Amino acid sequence: MAASVIVKDPEILSGMPVFRGTRVPVKNLIDYLATGETINAFLDDFPTVTREQVVRILEEAGAMAALETIGPGQVINISEKDEE
């Protein structure tokens, strides 16, 4: 299993989640995308982050979004075939 792309270390930005090997907060990517900026613009402004890191974070976020939490300990998978 590959190492996580996200690192939380109290010695780096007081424990804010950052891209591994950088001091770039993951929140910066979310903020860029939320305001309509492109991944390319983000990468231009934060050259220490790789496209592969961004893609992995978005893939993981998508996988998490595909799960809907019903209650403590109860999770159901929402997918297109469930809607048929």
Q: What confidence score (pLDDT) does residue 14 get?
A: 94
Q: Which domain holds residue 45?
A: 6-83
**CATH code for the domain in which residue 77 is found:** 1.10.10.10
pTM of the model as a whole: 0.73
pLDDT, averaged in runs of 10, over the chain (84 residues): 83 94 96 96 98 93 70 57 43
Query: In the numeric block, which tokens belong to residue 36?
Result: 């309509």
Q: What is the number of structural domains in the chain?
A: 1
Q: What confidence score (pLDDT) does residue 65 get?
A: 73
DSSP string, 38-82: -HHHHHHH-TTS-HHHHHHHHHHHHHHHTEEEEETTEEEE--GGG
Q: Which long-range contacts (CB under 8 A, 24 or more apart) does 14-20 make?
A: 19/48, 19/49, 19/53, 19/57, 20/53
Query: Domain for residue 43, yes or no?
Result: yes
